[in-house]
Structure 1
Amino acid sequence: MATQAGFLSGLSGIESVPGPELPQLDFLTKFNEENQKKYAEFDARFKESPLLKKFLEKSKLNKEKNRQEILDKYCLRGAEWGVGDCSTDGMSAEDREKFIAMLKQKTGAQ
């Protein structure tokens, strides 16, 4: 069964017709340029701010700390389940319990 498109399907819509050229007002153009300069100065000053640098450094340190916490939690889970890099397969029951207790203490798990 062949489908047929409507007779208007090949015509472009009104959105493809360019709109009228708006008049350029000098005072608005000048006002916009001054604001752009001001915003660029504010951005440059903000990027050099000691407070921002402090927060970025703190964020980087938190990111690493959080990444390590997540890795430790996965290691604990793997040890309990006996899978993955922290698998306790091959350990004696006593060594396994010590290892899991150490991981629980490290992660703060109960």
Structure 2
Amino acid sequence: MISSSFMVSANANPTIATLSTRSYASSPSSDFLCKSRLVAFPLAASVSVLLWTNPVNAGILSGFSGLESVPGPELPKIDFLNKWNEDNQKKYAELDSQFKSSKVLKELLEKSKQNKERNERLIQDKYCLRGAEWGVGDCSTQGMTQQERDDFVAMLKKRTGEE
């Protein structure tokens, strides 16, 4: 009969315990059991330490909302600066309204709208040309004769400016 016992002995440091084995019968299987237990216990202890969950304590300032929530001191009001600021705000508002109603801005917005529409159409034609050349997508040339395919691709190249 094979039996082994495990003893925990304390070193000089009481928090560290060592595990020693004492075997009564010496055989290869008992050595394997002892070695496997020597590996299993530290492994189980490591896993339990890793998986242990403790609530997080933020400390004494955990309820403090921070310095940015504290209002600063009231600064003195200077009449000259307040009047100057009000005059500047009125002047900037007037200039903004003039610019928004200007003929130049209206022309630029119209050109931008036209360019956007033209660029969208150009990009669609470019992808259609690629799909026609590869034979995939909405512009696929599957089922067309070679002459129809060549004419279609030539028309797309002309629209995209590749010719």
Q: Shared fold by TM > 0.5?
A: yes
Which of 60, 71, 74 lines up with 2:127 in the alignment? Answer: 74
Letter in 2 for 1:29: N
Q: Which sits farther off after the overlay, 1-10 or 59-68? A: 1-10
Letter in 2 for 1:59: S
Q: CA deviation at 1:26?
A: 1.4
Letter in 2 for 1:10: G
Q: Give distance in 2, aligned partners of 1:48 and 1:97.
A: 50
For 2:118, the equivalent position in structure 1 comes to 65
**What is the TM-score normalised by the length of structure 1?**
0.90
For 1:88, the equivalent position in structure 2 comes to 141
1:23 and 2:76 correspond = yes
For 1:39, the equivalent position in structure 2 comes to 92
Say what the alpha-carbon RMSD is for the aligned residues.
1.4
Unpaired runs of at least 5, structure 1: none
Which protein has the bigger helix share? 1
Point out which structure has higher relative CO (alpha carbons under 8 A, 6+ apart).
1
SS in 2 for 1:37: helix
For 2:105, the equivalent position in structure 1 comes to 52
For 1:103, the equivalent position in structure 2 comes to 156
Unpaired runs of at least 5, structure 2: 1-52
Q: Give distance in 2, aligned partners of 1:12 and 1:58.
A: 51
Percent of aligned pairs with the same residue?
64
How many pairs were matched up?
A: 110
**What is the TM-score normalised by the length of structure 2?**
0.63
Q: Give distance in 2, aligned partners of 1:52 and 1:16.
A: 43
For 1:6, the equivalent position in structure 2 comes to 58
Q: Give distance in 1, aligned partners of 2:114 and 2:58.
A: 61
